[in-house]
Structure 1
Amino acid sequence: MQTDIQTWQQALPHGITLSCRACGEPGRPLLLFLHGFPEGAWVWDALLRHFSRPENGGYRCVAPNLRGYERSSAPEDVKAYRAKHLVQDILALIDNECGPKTEDQPLAALIAHDWGGAVAWSVANQHPDRLRQLVIINSPHPGTFLRALQQDPAQQAASAYMNFLVQPEAATQLAAKDFERMFGFLTGQDTSLQSLTAPTADHPAHWLTPAVKAQYREVWQQGLQGGLNYYRASPLRPATANDPGASAVQIPPEALRIEVPTLLLWAQDDVALLPCLTEGLDAHIPDLKLVPIEQATHWVVHEQPARVIQEIANFLPPICIKPAQ
């Protein structure tokens, strides 16, 4: 059983290449992990190792760097980061790992955080046959996010940082002085985008060790424009005098429906994505398990990895593998 991290460049049929990380034997039930901004596939390494072990299910665990990140393809056109293209990447990766006949063995679970969660919501809505379960960690469902951006002043203020990230000079400013502002966001020392993370005295970023900083730096050195293009390609941001943002958006009810069993983990001290975003989800997700996580911020996967692993393990059903013919 492979429990070391494997890395490779996965070419997809539509011309995109994703740099991937994985643990576990190909052909085993697949867990697919999608990261957010400003991270990379490496943030899932502890979970890849855990769930690939035989005593923890022996899953095949794969984490791609999303397009625009690390050594994955990074198209320059902002329109290349619209949801339909991001979904296409993930479906092609599922095909590569599971095969196109998903009725034989679909994806066991799609597990995602932040922007990875935004992609995962779309995959689950549009292609529910491709996965058995969905796990979302602090990534708002588009229905509740749209409602909050249109009607909730607190969430509008919490999301105001998005209007900086879409500016043309954002990447240059974020990369300056060896990514000083990027690390400031993670530690809460840079208050100009405080709502992005804002650790406090109650949540010091002890997890941001020199080794973790080096892993972040390695991803960021490949470029920041790709990750920022996710914000630029989406209208789901607070309205400004020059940009209607979410105020001009309508989403039909059928685009909000999630039919697969869903686990939603929500760190309660995430000051960028407020707990109000978990309200009213029963209208869109009939089979929903919501687990609030206290004393945790947006970076809960770093802060409380054991808790995250345990909640996912409790949610996953016992593995049932078809015997070889």
Structure 2
Amino acid sequence: MIQTFQRTLPHGITLSCRATGEAGRPLMLFLHGFPEAAFIWDPLLEYFAQPEHGGYRCLAPNLRGFEQSSSPPEVEAYRAHLLVKDILELAALEGPGGHIDTLVAHDWGGAFGWGLANAHPGRLDRLAIINSPHPGTFLRELQSSPAQQEASAYMSFLSRPDAEQLLAEDDYRRLWPFFAAPPGREWLTDEVKAQYRQVWDAGLTGACNLYRVTPLKPAAPGEPPRVFPELPRVFPELPRERFTVELPTLVLWAMDDIALLPGLLDGLEDYVPKMQLRKISGATHWIVHEQPDLVAREIERFARPSP
């Protein structure tokens, strides 16, 4: 059964959360992306709380700016290290030391997962990334790949000062097309749409601020090509210059993602030496909705390997 509650963190941010399992059990933490919310993880929260699948304490916060979590209006309040701080303090409220057994992250959640694993490797045992580019390969592709530049052009739209107003028009008519699904995978039911409306009705400014604050996005139409700094200067708050992640890491990649192209996987092992890569054909960016059973099995195989 899904529990819902709010946690106010020591630095004043409140996160609305969904959880299953007993407090004190090993913590499996789930981070969502845009334009989603914590509810996308419900099938996995229920799966991994079961004793036969690990009996974890499963926790999925709504990131700051989403659903009923705090939504500071300032763009700078959405810098990556601040959201990483939210995650660490939330984990600390779950138990001594705030240790995370497995961090599972998708899309924007993955951006903060990469950052947490780089800057605070002692706080978690393993990382599972689902269609979220590593900053090193994303920077390279934005610099050198016209295809990825075109695929990421939507980021400039979402950075516009009026983006949230445009997204909300006519029952969010600009948002629904984000969820294009392959034939036979029509997961966007009326019930799921109602869940999304409830999230979006709470406000979209925080979500759009993620796109406004990031330095990793292509130039907007009419702007000159963006000149990107070297990776350490993009994220000066991170301690490891090359943004390496030394933890065991599962990268689960749906190959029909039209926004995050397969070129982002090239050279990823240079940044993540203990990586297990699983490429999933016939799945899109929304694989968590499309194939939750497959996602659960892959994460379980990674987090609880057979003897």
Q: TM-score, normalised by structure 2?
A: 0.94
How far residue 250 of structure 1 moved from its aligned partner, in angstroms, is: 1.4
Match of 1:144 among 117, 131, 137: 137
**Is residue 254 of structure 2 the alignment partner of residue 273 of structure 1?**
no
**Is residue 291 of structure 2 the alignment partner of residue 304 of structure 1?**
yes
Match of 2:36 among 31, 35, 39: 39
Q: Which residue of 1 aligns with 2:107?
A: 114
Match of 1:14 among 5, 11, 29: 11
How far residue 256 of structure 1 moved from its aligned partner, in angstroms, is: 1.1
User: Mapping of 1:173-192 within 5 angstroms?
Assistant: 173-187=166-180
Kindly indicate whether the alpha-carbon contact (under 8 Å) linking 2:137 and 2:268 is maintained by their aligned counterparts in 1. yes
Q: Which residue of 2 aligns with 1:161?
A: 154
CA distance in 1, matches of 2:62, 2:242: 26
Cα 1:204–1:146 change in 2 (3 A) is farther
User: Mapping of 1:86-125 within 5 angstroms?
Assistant: 86-100=83-97, 106-125=99-118
Q: After TM superposition, where is structure 1 displaced by more than 3 Å over at least 4 residues in a row?
A: 202-205, 240-245
Match of 1:84 among 81, 85, 90: 81
Unaligned runs of 5+ in 1: 188-198, 320-325
1:102-141 residue CA offsets vs partner (Å, 9 max, x unmatched)? 6xxx311100000000010000000000000000000000
Q: Which moved more, 1:13-22 or 1:231-240?
A: 231-240
Match of 1:225 among 200, 205, 208: 205
CA distance in 2, matches of 1:268, 1:181: 24
How far residue 98 of structure 1 moved from its aligned partner, in angstroms, is: 2.8
Q: Which residue of 2 aligns with 1:59?
A: 56
Secondary structure at 1:206 match in 2:
coil
Question: Counterpart amino acid of 1:303?
Answer: E
CA distance in 1, matches of 2:252, 2:57: 22
Kindly indicate whether the alpha-carbon contact (under 8 Å) linking 1:37 and 1:227 is maintained by their aligned counterparts in 2. yes
1:68-89 residue CA offsets vs partner (Å, 9 max, x unmatched)? 0000000000000001111110
Aligned length in residues: 298
How far residue 291 of structure 1 moved from its aligned partner, in angstroms, is: 0.2
Question: Counterpart amino acid of 2:178?
Answer: F
Unaligned runs of 5+ in 2: 233-239
User: Mapping of 1:211-250 within 5 angstroms?
Assistant: 211-240=191-220, 241-242=222-223, 245=226, 247-250=227-230
CA distance in 2, matches of 1:262, 1:235: 25
Q: Percent identity?
A: 57
CA distance in 1, matches of 2:154, 2:300: 34
